[in-house]
Amino acid sequence: MRDIAHFVNGQTLVGASGRFGDVYNPNTGEVQARVQLATADELDAAVQLAAKAQIGWAATNPQRRARVMFEFKRLLERDMNSLAEILSSEHGKVIADSKGDLQRGLEVIEFACGIPHILKGEYTEGAGPGIDVYSMRQPLGVCAGITPFNFPAMIPMWMFGISIAVGNTFILKPSEKDPTVPVKLAELMMEAGAPAGVLNVVHGDKVCVDAILTHPLIRAVSFVGSSDIAHYVYQTGTAHGKRVQAMGGAKNHGVVLPDADLDQVVKDLSGAAFGSAGERCMALPVVVPVGKKTADELRERMVAEIETLQIGVSSDPAAHYGPVVSAAHRDKIADYIRIGVEEGAELVVDGRDFALQGFEKGFFIGPSLFDNVKKGMKTYQEEIFGPVLQMVRAESFEEALSLPSEHPYGNGVAIFTRNGRAAREFASRVNVGMVGINVPIPVPVAYHTFGGWKRSAFGDTNQHGVEGVKFYTKVKTVTARWPEGETEDSAFVIPTMK
């Protein structure tokens, strides 16, 4: 059995905890490797080395740090195919989707290549008599990232791409379900010229997470995962004096107005609800057609579209989506479908009995469609995170607007319409952090920022873009005076600019 070790201070580090997590191949259902789970002492040893490395790295000029990012980008592009294959074999998403996962992370690295420009501070000459004021952004020290299973490449790069470029060193604690690609990324960062200790990967579970959240040398923690854990990470990390951003779960709605191009909506919904087996925080698992005619037509077309979907192993280029990440997760999705039926929603397409010939032990589940889902239902309120599309019928624009606005999650939302005025009003009034207008998965580009509202994010800075730079740096403001020579009297009154 292959063991997946930590990567600390530029080297593979075999852990001594004696604790392991199973890493499956979701296509076959077999355990393909074991990942080591760190102790608090092992985490501490990595942090001490990262703290030592940070001094020299912060003193490296920003252009040199950017050159490492440029080289990392080149290496990632070189290895894109092999990384995508590994990613798919642990996660279960199809290869093209794994390449998308890598590519979206790479775009944050491209943004980080411009860090010398972004880090330039502000300067005011002559703010007072002989007084100049300037500010600069300085790195925090050692920062940490705790990431989910569903984007094992993109989300780590959201975090370490920015954090390292601004002069921090980084401890990445990736998901224990698909940990190989994060280690490969750290190896590539060393190959790109980052000094040892700049990017470290420490695998683990709650023991390691708690050690991160309470470690005195870790200044900032970025988390992405489910909402209850995100809330816990936020509360524990901030209670220990850290800057924390913690992104949580989602239940994104797609509102379909009667004038929308339904052919396009069906295609968009199909990809956004069932792509990656629904295991995306920006998936569209809820569709809200406005008016009975729109709903009936959409339902009929959606059923026909679902019949065309192909589920296959992650290496099958013809497959639209592959298996989900684990047997437990597949069973949880199936359980939500059972509950939905019990709650009185109408199960139009039932994907529970799907089995892939020759891969009966794989973690596959077919696409499901519910109609007449109501606001109060548990299956509407909670995140299912699987290939299940729920239709909630609305009678008016106002009702459709109120559904995502009042939902406890507020990550993303989409509206489909040809009416610019309605779309504009929707985008302005909806109580959700990221909005798509005829865009089903509105993940912002790397130089904007990513972040939801309500239970989808705790903390007040988003991921990547300029917000990411702010999260990973602190501002220092210098007020400098160069007197002409005469000694001035003491001033006992607060100085002001008259």
If the CB atoms of residues 86 and 266 are measured against ligand NAD, the closer one turns out to be: 86
The DSSP string of 361-377 is TS-----EEEES--TT-
If the CB atoms of residues 84 and 208 are measured against ligand NAD, the closer one turns out to be: 208
If the CB atoms of residues 403 and 434 are measured against ligand NAD, the closer one turns out to be: 434
366-425 residues in contact with ligand NAD (CB under 6 A) are 383, 385, 411
Based on the residue annotation, tell me whether 281 is a catalytic residue of this protein: yes
Instruction: State the binding string over 122-161 for ligand NAD (x if CB under 6 A, else -).
Output: ------------------------xxxxxx----------
Look up tokens 């470290």; give the residue.
200
Query: Which candidate in 113, 143, 208, 281 is catalytic?
Result: 281
Look up tokens 């339904």; give the residue.
262
- Residue 225 binds to ligand NAD (criterion: CB under 6 A): yes
For the bound state, the minimum distance from the C-beta of residue 496 to ligand NAD, rounded and expressed in Å, comes to 45
Q: Give the SS3 label for residue 218.
A: strand
Angle between helices 397-406 and 420-429 (to 10 degrees): 30
236-255 residues in contact with ligand NAD (CB under 6 A) are 247-250
% helix / strand / coil in the chain, to the nearest 5?
40, 25, 40
Q: CA–CA separation, 452 vs 459, rounded Å?
A: 10
- Residue 465 binds to ligand NAD (criterion: CB under 6 A): no
Look up tokens 């302005």; give the residue.
428
If the CB atoms of residues 166 and 230 are measured against ligand NAD, the closer one turns out to be: 230
Give the residue among 143, 203, 132 at the shortest CA–CA distance from 168: 143
Q: CA–CA separation, 152 vs 446, rounded Å?
A: 17
Q: CA–CA separation, 380 vs 336, rounded Å?
A: 10
For the bound state, the minimum distance from the C-beta of residue 146 to ligand NAD, rounded and expressed in Å, comes to 5
CB atoms under 10 Å from CB of 360, counted, come to 10
- Residue 178 binds to ligand NAD (criterion: CB under 6 A): no
For ligand NAD, the binding residue among 9, 168, 252, 456 (CB under 6 A) is 456
- Residue 276 binds to ligand NAD (criterion: CB under 6 A): no
Q: CA–CA separation, 440 vs 31, rounded Å?
A: 35
Number of residues that bind ligand NAD (CB under 6 A): 26
For the bound state, the minimum distance from the C-beta of residue 149 to ligand NAD, rounded and expressed in Å, comes to 4
If the CB atoms of residues 340 and 433 are measured against ligand NAD, the closer one turns out to be: 433
Cross-strand partners of 255: 288, 415
Binding site for ligand NAD (CB under 6 A): 146-151, 173, 175-176, 205-206, 209, 224-226, 229, 247-250, 281, 383, 385, 411, 452, 456
Q: Give catalytic residues, as residue numbers.
A: 281
